[in-house]
Structure 1
Amino acid sequence: MKLAIDVIKERIEEKKLFKRNRKSIEVKILAGLLYYLGLSLRKTSLFLSQFESISHESVRVYYHKIKEVLNEPKRSVRNPIAIDETKLKFGDKTIYVWSAIDVESKECLGVYISETRNYLDTILFVRGILKFCSNKPKILVDGGRWYPWALQKLGLKFERVRFGLRNCVESFFSLLKRRTKAFFNRFPNNSKFDTVISWIKSFMMFYNWILSIT
């Protein structure tokens, strides 16, 4: 479903998403969107300050908060779903970002962030995306050894696919990496893990919103 800016504005007002309302809601939405699209916090702040004074810290807050009024995926019949994971840096640690993409709609059904990559992570991740499926979808995976046992445990059929139908999940990660390249694919040492999770979840929600209106 297409989600117009006026609907997002109405939801923000109803939910009283922001404690302070000295800035227009349209500017807050635009700030989050410009940051998602690739501008840095400071460049977004500088650009929007041509119209209304806004700090780079405010841009960060808007990006994290606006996801609360964007549409979650709807529960529906889905087949197949492509899943994969990629690596990012969190300070000096490696973290894994998992994603599931509906092959037909290209919608991202969920992201999951972990410090390990094993059978348990696979089960936790896939269970999270199944709540958006009214059926038991076929899962497309690569050669990761952590997939077969976990998917069989969940009663799901799967197929190993290197390219083709799995390109949609690779495209999602390409967009994500293009965005995180601005900070060298590394979240700073002083970031909290919850903040990293929120940042990636916001990216997913903005991704789905843009997908729904294009």
Structure 2
Amino acid sequence: MQCKYCGSEFVTKKGFVNKKQLYKCKDCGHRFFENGKFARMKTDKNLIVTALNLYYDGLSLRKAQRNLEQIFGERISQVTILNWIKKYSKLVKEFVTTLTPQLSGLWHEDETMLNCEGKNIWFWEMIDEDTKFLVASHISGTRTFEDTVAIFKKGFEQSKVRPRAVFVDGSHVYQSAFNKVFYTMRKNTRPELVQRVGIRARETNNIVERLHGTVKDRTKSMRGLKSFESTKSILEGFAIHYNFVRPHQTLNGKTPAQASRTDAPNNWKSLIEEATKHEVEILARITRQIPVSEKIKVLAK
């Protein structure tokens, strides 16, 4: 028996509630039922995981809803499915950004324009050449110097090291943004910015072009989203699915995370469970740092 919040095995029985065995974790203090559900959820975890897989494998919310009803015999509203997608995309993202993939250091960056309820938005992506790992992604309503800096910074923060080279197209904003994030006085650790135009640019960025196709296939069934924030959450979840769940043909059936020797699960169920543990650990650290007087004030409210 493990705590569904922190994963601890120091769990004790705490009586029954409505004839169901209640447990308490001695480490994190949470009480819970062993009922096949994620922490703080009333729905079976297998149903939620199936919904995420169906959606990120390309089904619309309506088709995912229909499939869930056929598989589990339960009719779940499209709003509920969307809320699960946003909730767990955010939760798992907080966990996976703490991981350090082992990358080749050859990164390909590009951006593609998507349509969100009649408005154009930009999806920026940075992919490692050998592992196909999506090092960073960025969603914006503009295509500016600040956005270019943002995607470079995210890549640096995720990998924890400078790349050997970054391949981009011929846009003039790349050089200044690249220098702002990656420039160093040490020549032996200074990355190279490789800019290509025309046919050479297409040859260089074929890796990213394939991802563009996958993203656009995914967004065909995203019609009806009226919020930029919802679209952003969904695309962040797409990045998780691409890196950690979806096997890649050119990687012999491995996920990019497995190819980059990232110590993480390769399915949504385990990712959510690990992310929940991570969230509990973070909250515990914050709580330990709060002065006793402040804790008393919080408890008194």
Which band: TM-score by shorter chain?
A: 0.7 to 0.9
Give the 3 Å change call, closer, same or farther, for CA 47–77 of structure 1 in structure 2.
Answer: closer
2:80 alignment partner AA? S
- Which of 42, 46, 53 is 1:26 aligned to? 46
Distance, in Å, in 1 between the alignment partners of 2:133 and 2:234 is 18
1:20 alignment partner AA? M
Q: Between Structure 1 and Structure 2, how many residues are aligned?
A: 199
- Which of 133, 146, 170 is 1:143 aligned to? 170
**Where does the alignment leave 5 or more consecutive residues of structure 1 unmatched?**
1-9
Highest CA radius of gyration, 1 or 2?
Answer: 2
Contact 1:83 1:139 (C-alpha < 8 Å) held by counterparts: yes
Deviations 1:146-174 (A, max 9, x none): 21221123214210241345222111111
Distance, in Å, in 2 between the alignment partners of 1:200 and 1:114 is 11
Q: Does 1:163 align with 2:185?
A: no
**Where does the alignment leave 5 or more consecutive residues of structure 2 unmatched?**
7-36, 184-190, 248-254, 256-265, 268-301
RMSD over aligned CA atoms reads 2.5
Distance, in Å, in 2 between the alignment partners of 1:82 and 1:152 is 16
1:133 alignment partner AA? S
Aligned to 1:59: 81
Give TM-score, length-normalised by structure 2: 0.60
Distance, in Å, in 2 between the alignment partners of 1:83 and 1:122 is 10
Distance, in Å, in 2 between the alignment partners of 1:47 and 1:77 is 37
**Correspondences of 1:1-214 after superposition (within 5 Å):** 13-14=4-5, 19-21=40-42, 23-50=43-70, 51-53=72-74, 54-67=76-89, 68-69=91-92, 71-72=96-97, 74-137=100-163, 138-154=165-181, 155=183, 156-161=191-196, 162-183=201-222, 188=225, 191-209=226-244, 210-211=246-247, 212=255
* 171-180 or 91-100: bigger deviation: 91-100
Distance, in Å, in 2 between the alignment partners of 1:157 and 1:201 is 28
Contact 2:108 2:166 (C-alpha < 8 Å) held by counterparts: yes
1:196 alignment partner AA? T
Give TM-score, length-normalised by structure 1: 0.81
Aligned to 2:271: none
Distance, in Å, in 2 between the alignment partners of 1:69 and 1:124 is 21
